[in-house]
């Protein structure tokens, strides 16, 4: 509770004191008591009540988030149109009792919402902004305007609009700016690519208009955009078509990837076959080279030791093989013939045939 409120409470109580003193004085008169002692009490109570009420009427306490416009009935050099040129600042202020009063305005931020949802905005019914785009489509805009009174121009605002600034400035200016901005864009631009540009255009126009009317724009919020039922169906069908196209494109890309993968596998197999063939060829060349070098070494060894070939041959035949050397000093070996005689065969003669017998 501030000082001004305390004084007002005391001023109210002072009248109760006056009433009480008058009742007491009446009781004294009825009892034929000493009225002279009661009169000063009544006068003192009346004077105290008048002083407290005058003081309460002259004291005004302004909160930090408020400014007070003084409306005066006095002709003062610093007043214009019956209003002081300077608004009252925060704290305890003094005005001329009964000749001046104060209209208090808040300078803190306020929000004015226009929405299609019932009970969401300042208007309980559907209060969305109906606007038409550049290509003739009808849209409904839900928006909020955050604003404040310019603390340095509270008096000018009061002279021009008094307490009507919300209904006669904030609301119509915001709705007009939204309609003007929407008419400069196509509906697809509002939906996708240029929504931010739309918000900025509305913000700039509202800020300029508010500045001319002693208000400060804090922010503009584009809450929602609603389309007509026909356009909403068209957008839905378009989105379905785009999704199908994307799905088909995905399938094509998948097939391309599968084909590329198969090509890479085939290429890998071909490369592997080439590498294997090259490796086999290189191995064969190495083997042939080794065999050639071995033959060269063998030929050199035979040239130095001619009997080495015969010795090696004998070693390969084994110890159980009978051989003979024919003729002497011949480099060739021949198998020894078997000594087992062949079985004899006796000649077989036919038996004589008996002569026929003749009967005389």
- Sequential pLDDT tens for the chain (360 residues): 577 788 888 888 888 888 888 887 777 777 766 666 777 878 888 888 888 888 888 899 999 999 999 998 877 656 667 888 889 999 999 998 888 899 999 999 999 999 988 888 888 888 999 999 988 888 999 999 999 999 999 999 999 999 999 999 999 999 999 999 999 998 888 877 888 899 999 999 999 999 999 999 999 999 998 887 777 676 667 767 777 788 788 888 888 888 888 888 888 888 888 888 888 888 888 888 887 887 777 777 767 776 666 666 666 665 655 555 555 555 555 555 554 555 554 555 455 555 444 443
| DSSP letters for 255-311 | HHHHHHHHHHHHHHHHHHHHHHHHHHHHHHHHHHHHHHHHHHHHHHHHHH-THHHHH
Domain ranges in the chain are: 3-105, 110-227, 238-280
Q: From CA 158, how far away is CA 72, in angstroms rounded?
A: 14
Return the closest-CA partner of residue 195 out of 133, 116, 122: 133
In terms of pTM, does the model score above 0.85? no
DSSP run (H or E) holding 99: none
Question: In CATH, which superfamily holds the domain spanning 110-227?
Answer: Band 7 domain (3.30.479.30)
Q: Confirm if 177 and 202 have CB atoms less than 8 A apart.
A: yes
Q: Give the Cα-Cα-Cα angle 95, 43, 47 (nearest 5 degrees).
A: 10
Q: What is the CB neighbour count within 10 angstroms for residue 115?
A: 21
């Amino acid at each position: 509770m501030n000082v001004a409120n305390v004084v007002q409470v005391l001023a109210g109580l002072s009248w109760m004191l006056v009433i009480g003193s008058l009742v007491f004085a009446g009781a004294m008169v009825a009892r034929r008591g000493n009225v002279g002692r009661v009169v000063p009490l009544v006068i003192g109570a009346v004077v105290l009540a008048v002083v407290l009420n005058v003081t309460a009427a002259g004291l005004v306490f302004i909160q930090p988030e408020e400014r007070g416009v003084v409306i005066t009935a006095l002709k003062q050099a610093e007043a214009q149109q019956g209003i002081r040129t300077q608004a009252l600042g925060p704290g305890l202020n003094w005005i001329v009792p009964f000749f001046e009063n104060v209209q208090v305005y808040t300078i803190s931020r306020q929000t004015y919402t226009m929405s299609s949802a019932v009970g969401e905005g300042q208007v309980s019914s559907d209060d969305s902004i109906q606007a038409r785009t550049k290509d003739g489509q009808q849209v409904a805009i839900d928006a909020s305007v955050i604003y404040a009174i310019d603390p340095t121009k509270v008096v000018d605002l009061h002279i021009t609009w008094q307490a009507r600034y919300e209904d006669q400035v904030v609301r119509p200016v915001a709705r007009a700016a939204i309609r003007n901005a929407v008419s400069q864009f196509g509906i697809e631009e509002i939906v996708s690519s240029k929504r931010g540009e739309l918000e900025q255009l509305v913000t700039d126009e509202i800020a300029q208009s508010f500045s001319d009317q002693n208000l400060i724009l804090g922010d503009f919020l584009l809450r929602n955009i609603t389309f007509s039922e026909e356009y909403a169906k068209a957008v839905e069908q378009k989105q379905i078509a785009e999704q199908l196209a994307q799905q088909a494109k995905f399938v094509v890309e998948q097939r391309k990837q599968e084909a590329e993968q198969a090509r890479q596998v085939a290429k890998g197999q071909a490369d592997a076959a080439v590498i294997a063939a090259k490796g086999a060829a290189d191995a064969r060349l190495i083997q042939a080279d080794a065999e050639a070098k071995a033959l060269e070494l063998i030929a050199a060894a035979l040239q130095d030791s001619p009997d080495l070939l015969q010795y090696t041959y004998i070693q390969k035949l084994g110890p159980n093989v009978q051989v003979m050397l024919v003729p002497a000093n011949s480099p060739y070996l021949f198998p020894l013939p078997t000594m087992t005689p062949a079985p004899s065969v006796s000649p077989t003669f036919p038996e004589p045939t008996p002569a026929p017998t003749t009967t005389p």
